[in-house]
Structures are given as C-alpha cells and as structure tokens.
Structure 1
Amino acid sequence: MIMSVSKPTQSYATTWIMLLALLTSLGPLSIDMYLPALPQMANDFGITTQRVANTLPAYFLGLALGQLIYGPLSDRIGRKTPLYFGLLLYICASILCTFANSEWSLIAARILQALGGCVGVVIARAAIRDRLDLQSSAQAFASMMIVMGIAPIIAPSLGALVLLYFSWPAVFVFLSAIGLICLICVHFFFQETLPVERRLNLNIKQVLNLYGAIFKQKSFRWPMLAGCFSGGILFCYISSSASILMDDYGLNQQQFAYAFGLNALGIMLLSSINKKLGRTFSVLQRLKIGAVLQLLGVMVLLSASLLSNVALWIVLIGMFLAISGIGFTGPNAMALAMAEQGERAGTASAVMGSMQFACGLLAGVMLNFLLWSALANMAIVMLIFVGIMLLSIWKLSQLRTLERQ
C-alpha cells in the first residue's frame, strides 16, 4: 500500500463549501426535524416521550457504523460513487420511516436512514482535506459549519410547521425530498476530489490495519477525541432537550423550535467569530477557547440541576454556552485531526465521524441509566464528556510542545 504525497491548496469556492454543507446538513436535519413530533409519536405508539427519544441513539448507531464503511471505500474508489449509494439508501429509508407503527420498527428504519445519510459528512471532510492545507481547512470547516448551522435552526421549526397540517410521518416524507435534492446536486455539481492515481488499493485486512494505524497516531487521536466528546455534549442536549423544555418547562412545539434554533444560531455565531480570529489565534488556541465556553455552560446547567424551581432563562443560558462553544471546538479539532492524513483522509474522516456518533450513542445509553431529573442527567453526562475533552486538549498541547522542541 503506497501513499503519494498530497499537495493541498489554500483556496476554495464558497459554492463548493455550500454544497458540502448541504450534504453534511442531512445529519442535523434528520436528527432535529422530528424532535417536535416526539410527544405526538409517543402518544401514537403508547409509550413515553423519553422512550421515543431512544430512536435518536439508534440513529447515532447507524451514523457510527456507516462512516466506517464509507471512509475506506471512498479512499479506494473515490468520493463521488459512495455518495450515489448512500443518498439513495437515505431516500428509501426515509420513506420506510413513514410506515413505522411502533418504537422498534422506527428504530430499524432510522438505523437504515443513518447508514445512508452519513455518507455526506464523511465525503465532505475528506474532500476538504483533499484540496486544502491546515489553516485553510480550519477556515473551510468553520465556513461549512456556518452554512450547515442553518439546518438545526430551521429543522425544528420546519418540523413544527409540518405538524400543524399533517401527522408526524410527513416529516420523513419531507426528509426524503431533501435527500433527493442532495442526490441531484451531487450528480450535476460535485466534482471528484480524489484522482485515480491517489487512491488506495485496500482490502479488508488493510482497512483494519489502517484504522489501527490512524488511531495510534497521537497527532490524530487527541484532537479527534477532543472533537468527538465536544460533539457528544451536543448529542446529550439533543437527546434530553424535548423532555426538559417541553415536558418539564411546558414549551409547545413552536416555542421548543425557537429555543432549539437559538442554540444552533449560537454555533453559527461562534463559527463566524472563530473564522475571523484565524489570523490572531492559532488553531489550537481557538480549540481551547471553545472548550472553556462549553465548560462554563455545563457548570451552569449542573448548578441549575441542583436547585429547585430554576428559571428557564438560566437553563437556556447554560445550554447556549455548552452548545455554541462547538463553533470553536468542532472546526479546529477537525482541522488538527485531519492535517496529516493525506490520501487516507476518507478513512480518517470515517474514524472521527464514527467515534463522534459513538459518543452520541454512549450519551443516549448513559442518560437512560441515570435516575435523576432530565436536566440533572444531561448535566452529569455533559460534565463527564467535557472532562474527557479537556484531558484530550491537554495531551494535544503537550504533544505539540514536544514537537516544537
């Protein structure tokens, strides 16, 4: 297995980033758009809202497994062909979701939906690494996060709007239509970023060895873990937000959509600030800024969970800080992890994406085992995740200090 030296460039077109953001936005749209429908689905299935929310970790499972397949596959056959397969699977699985008549049939359909939809995020990360260097890729990831940040802002509102006129299956009809739009855009506008001469001739044994080699690389492992557990904080919030805001604080579907969109707007805002600070602070320094913001947010939420009758605005501030900090941690952790991956960028992207959604699955499992209030459970899991993130950033700082000596 021979790897040639890649020569990434320093520029990119805004339209190219918007296309990659559209592909990546399938994830947040599929996760967030049906959140306002959870109480309605729980009523139809005859179960609690929290049990219906278990279909979220199921989606994370599909995302984690699917990326492990698409990553090395895209390193072997290129970036575009896997997009065709994944998007077609996503469209079909979204339609299957409309026929679900129980918690378990929905879980099965959601896993298939995730197996298809995760192709976008793998290919987007790999395509950026194919073309750009470290600083430019950090800027590109920040730009992409700004654009894709629109998805979680509008997704709950779109879901709530659909529910005004139709029942919950219509949400998945809408998602299948978005998948079709992505497929059309890929066919006409996505240009292959991995030429034939740079592709890796991988078999299954080599793929497993490559996964091991990538994970052992400290310059990849520490920023990868920092980014994954930072994202895990978001998944804790997604899994718990409906129970906290709708069940505990009594927000209706549209009010929940506004609150959810505010936090997504925070990610966009901080991603924009992160991008503007690119010439003032290093990638690692900006990663640390995001980590501090997330830590502050988690501490506010933990404090709120220990008190009785805490005002909603305090909880919303804690959520905003914990979630919007991802605008700093996400792009910079991604850029640092992918910086030295070259032609194996697809496989490295798959490892990082799979681990990130494995954190989402872990968050869902942990939330189900904790026995306190929904707010306390969320805050405790977030605290564990932010602790692992801070440890990973500290180890990364040590590594980079040694490299400079």
Structure 2
Amino acid sequence: MSENGSRQQYSSAWIMLLALLTALGPLSIDMYLPALPQMANDFGVSTQMMANTLPAYFFGLAMGQLIYGPISDRIGRKKPLYVGLSLYAVASLLCIFATSEWSLIALRVVQALGGCVGVVIARAAIRDRLDVQGSAQAFSSMMIVMGIAPIAAPALGAWILYFFNWHAVFVFLSVMGCLCLFCVHFFFKETLQPTRRLKLTFNQILTLYAAILKDKSFRFPMFAGCLTGGALFSYISSASPVFMDMYGLNQQQFAYAFGFNALGIIILSSINKRLVTRLNTIRRLKLGGLIQFSGAAIVLLSGLLEHAPLVMVMLGLFFAVSGLGFTGPNAMALAMSQQGARAGTASAIMGSMQFAVGLLGGLLLNFLIWTSLLNMGIMMVLFTGAGLRAIAKIAAQSNQQQA
C-alpha cells in the first residue's frame, strides 16, 4: 500500500483522541518526578524509596491491561473506557490523602488499574481499523503526539510545584481523567462491531492468552518492543536520583533535561513515519535497536567514570530513549498485524509485558549496589541487548518465510 493510501486510513483528530487516552500513562508517570525529593521529605524517606511509587504504578498497569484486553474483545472498546477512566479520576484524587509512602504506593496501583484502559483500547482500535503499514504510521503519529506528554509533564509538574505542593499534581491528574471521560463519551466511536466480538469464558480467556503467546508473529515482536522499552523505564525510575541528587539540578532544570530526551522520541518517530516507503518494518526496528543499545553503552560508560560530565550522560540517554521512536511503533505494528478480532487481548498482553519489564527494572534498581547512574546504565544495556536478540529472531523468522 502506498504512503498516501496508508495516511487516508485515519484522521488526525482520531489519532489525537487515542493519543490523549494513551497520554494518561506518561502524565501519571512523569509529571510528579520533580516532586519526588519534596515528597520524600514529607514522608521522611529517601528519594530512591519514594521512586518505588513508579514500579507500583507499573504493576497496576501490567495487571490492569490483562483484564481490559479480553473484556474489550467481548463487549467492545467503549464501555471499558467508562469504567477505567472513572476509577483513574477517583484514585488520582485520593492520592492527596495518602499519609505514608505505603498508602501512596497502594493508591498508585489503583490509579494505574484505571488509567491503563486507554493504552489497551487505543492499540486495539488502531488494529480494528488499519492494516500493517497503516498501523505503523498510526503508531508513529500517536508517538509523536504522545511525545509531547513526557516533555510537558515534568515542566508542568515543576510549574505547579512553584505555586503549590505535590498534592496539586494529583488534583490535576484527576481533572485529566475527567477530561478523557468527557471526550470518550462524546467523540469516541466504537471500532469493534458486535459481529466481530468474542464470546469468551474465563477458561477461554486463558486459552486465548496461551494461543497468542504461542504465535511467533506476535511473541518475538512483543519481546523486542518490551525489552527495548525497558531502557525507558530504567531511565524514568532513575532520572530524579541521577539528575537531582547526583548532578544537583533543580526542579525546573530537571524538567528541561527530562524533556530533551523525550523530544528525541518525537524526532525519531517522525523520521520513522517518513521512512515507511523506503525501509521495511523489520529494518526500521533493527535500526532503532542499534541506536538504543549504542546510547545505553554510553550511559554505562558514564557510570563507570568517576566524574562523568553531564553532557556525556545526556548524549547517551538521548540515543537510548529516542531510539524508541523506531522500535516502539514498528514492534507494535508487527506484533498486532495477525491478531484480528483478538487485538484487544493481544494489546493487553503486550502492554502488560511492557510494564512488567518496567516493574522488573524498577525493583532490580533497588538491589544494585553502585551509583544511580551506573545502575541505570547496567539495566539499559541488559534490556537493549536482549531486545536486539529478539529483533534478530524476527529477522531470521522473516527470512525463513521468504525462502
């Protein structure tokens, strides 16, 4: 299909709506990062301990998506959005009443259980309507729009903290949940027609999960996307301790540094979209994996040095994070390409695995005994190296099919 043909499969307004639903994730993750030292002081714990609210959110995202996926395949895409977004808005507001780091961790899990509905439905809706090339372009377009969230979120969080305390961040997130609920009610049209819905029992859901995971056309791209995405989660979990504790950046400076790396995702997502007719999906995926691994290696080297300059750290992080502009949309398009009516369940598995990797990375960072920077570099190299291995499996599988 030509590039123009792919572009005509969806409207910009539709992608903007899906991006808004998906953007709840980065907003909920990134917006309160500048507040972690302030929150740690209020609760009387370390910044690294307070950063454990991030793996807690990843846990909720991983679990919740496994629920919404098969439900959306059974009853459609719109009804689960009502439930999830309502839960998200309420849980976000309740976070301001947390009295300890553990109560906040528990509420963050509930918040994620609601907020994850957006990313599941967005991926499934794209697969409902588009083919592989159209999906790759749509995911790239969505990542460009979504890329604004990681740039804006820490800056917006820092701006709120300039006038208010950290509680106001969660009030804002609750308002965002209500805004998404409003947009879904009035502007989101059902993409899974009743004739295509799956009548699933609990046992059939488990069987469906097993069948999807056995599908090599799904499994290898899923691992490629999840493992290379692990570099981003390692970065998010370590950003505040590295930038604010090690390099002494204030809240505003942290927001600029964090946003700079998120800008790279937008740039490479835009380039990926333009390369759709020049390089096939697997080659673009491989290019993104190499970019990310190179950046991770620079971060690791920075951690091994006694006093690595901040510019060196920023360079490595830029490549390790921005390479997701290639790996993310292409891995997603390949994984979803053969899933048909079970796209919701497949989307849930992939999303759940992505955040399971984020949870694993966040937990492992607590056990590594070196500096925050070196720990981050180690995790990034491990994740991107494993991701490259999965990409190699995809390429080998494609060559066998063509032979």
* Band of TM-score, shorter chain: over 0.9
Aligned residues: 398
Deviation at 1:9, TM superposition (A): 10
Find the counterpart in structure 2 of residue 138 from structure 1.
136
Structure 1 distance, partners of 2:13, 2:261, is 25
Structure 1 distance, partners of 2:144, 2:90, is 29
Match among 135, 139, 145 for residue 147 of structure 1:
145
State the TM-score, normalizing by the size of structure 2.
0.98
Question: Equivalent residue of 2:107, what SS?
Answer: helix
Deviation at 1:309, TM superposition (A): 1.1
| Deviations 1:129-160 (CA, angstroms, capped at 9, x unpaired) | 00000000000000000001110100001100
Match among 323, 327, 335 for residue 325 of structure 2:
327
Structure 1 distance, partners of 2:172, 2:49, is 24
Find the counterpart in structure 2 of residue 365 from structure 1.
363
Find the counterpart in structure 2 of residue 69 from structure 1.
67
Matching of residues 257-276 of structure 1 within 5 Å? 257-276=255-274
Instruction: Answer yes or no: is the 8 Å Cα contact 2:89–2:178 preserved in 1.
Output: yes
Structure 1 distance, partners of 2:61, 2:101, is 19
Match among 199, 203, 218 for residue 216 of structure 2:
218
Matching of residues 116-195 of structure 1 within 5 Å? 116-195=114-193
Structure 1 distance, partners of 2:175, 2:318, is 31
Structure 1 distance, partners of 2:295, 2:170, is 33
Q: What 5-or-longer segments of structure 2 have no aligned partner?
A: 1-5
Instruction: Answer yes or no: is the 8 Å Cα contact 2:137–2:276 preserved in 1.
Output: yes
2:214 partner letter: K
| Deviations 1:216-251 (CA, angstroms, capped at 9, x unpaired) | 111100000000011111000000010000000000
Instruction: Answer yes or no: is the 8 Å Cα contact 1:10–1:132 preserved in 2.
Output: no
1:132 partner letter: L
Matching of residues 52-91 of structure 1 within 5 Å? 52-91=50-89
Matched, 1:232 2:230: yes
Structure 1 distance, partners of 2:316, 2:330, is 22
Match among 364, 381, 384 for residue 383 of structure 1:
381
Q: What 5-or-longer segments of structure 1 have no aligned partner?
A: 1-7
Aligned sequence identity (%): 66
Match among 109, 112, 127 for residue 111 of structure 1:
109
Find the counterpart in structure 1 of residue 310 from structure 2.
312
Find the counterpart in structure 2 of residue 249 from structure 1.
247
2:383 partner letter: F
Question: Equivalent residue of 2:97, what SS?
Answer: coil
Question: Equivalent residue of 2:249, what SS?
Answer: coil
Deviation at 1:10, TM superposition (A): 6.2
Structure 2 distance, partners of 1:137, 1:367, is 34
Instruction: Answer yes or no: is the 8 Å Cα contact 1:10–1:133 preserved in 2.
Output: no
Find the counterpart in structure 1 of residue 32 from structure 2.
34
Structure 2 distance, partners of 1:383, 1:351, is 24
Find the counterpart in structure 2 of residue 4 from structure 1.
none
Instruction: Answer yes or no: is the 8 Å Cα contact 1:9–1:132 preserved in 2.
Output: no
| Deviations 1:99-154 (CA, angstroms, capped at 9, x unpaired) | 11211000010000000000000000000000000000000000000001110100
Structure 2 distance, partners of 1:316, 1:387, is 20
Question: Equivalent residue of 1:371, what SS?
Answer: coil
Find the counterpart in structure 1 of residue 3 from structure 2.
none
Deviation at 1:308, TM superposition (A): 1.2
Instruction: Answer yes or no: is the 8 Å Cα contact 2:151–2:262 preserved in 1.
Output: yes
Deviation at 1:181, TM superposition (A): 0.5
Match among 209, 225, 234 for residue 207 of structure 2:
209
Structure 1 distance, partners of 2:253, 2:266, is 20
Instruction: Answer yes or no: is the 8 Å Cα contact 2:7–2:137 preserved in 1.
Output: no
Structure 2 distance, partners of 1:302, 1:87, is 39
Instruction: Answer yes or no: is the 8 Å Cα contact 1:9–1:133 preserved in 2.
Output: no
Q: What RMSD, in angstroms, separates the aligned Cα atoms of the two structures?
A: 0.9
Structure 2 distance, partners of 1:299, 1:170, is 38
Instruction: Answer yes or no: is the 8 Å Cα contact 2:40–2:47 preserved in 1.
Output: yes
Structure 2 distance, partners of 1:63, 1:306, is 33
Q: Which runs of 4+ in 1 moved over 6 A?
A: none
2:271 partner letter: I
Structure 2 distance, partners of 1:16, 1:10, is 12
| Deviations 1:20-63 (CA, angstroms, capped at 9, x unpaired) | 00000000000000000000000000000000000000000000
Structure 2 distance, partners of 1:9, 1:22, is 20
2:331 partner letter: A
| Deviations 1:198-223 (CA, angstroms, capped at 9, x unpaired) | 00000100000000000011110000
Structure 2 distance, partners of 1:73, 1:121, is 14
Instruction: Answer yes or no: is the 8 Å Cα contact 2:292–2:323 preserved in 1.
Output: yes
1:108 partner letter: A
Structure 1 distance, partners of 2:39, 2:156, is 17
1:51 partner letter: M
Find the counterpart in structure 2 of residue 298 from structure 1.
296
State the TM-score, normalizing by the size of structure 1.
0.97
Structure 2 distance, partners of 1:47, 1:197, is 54
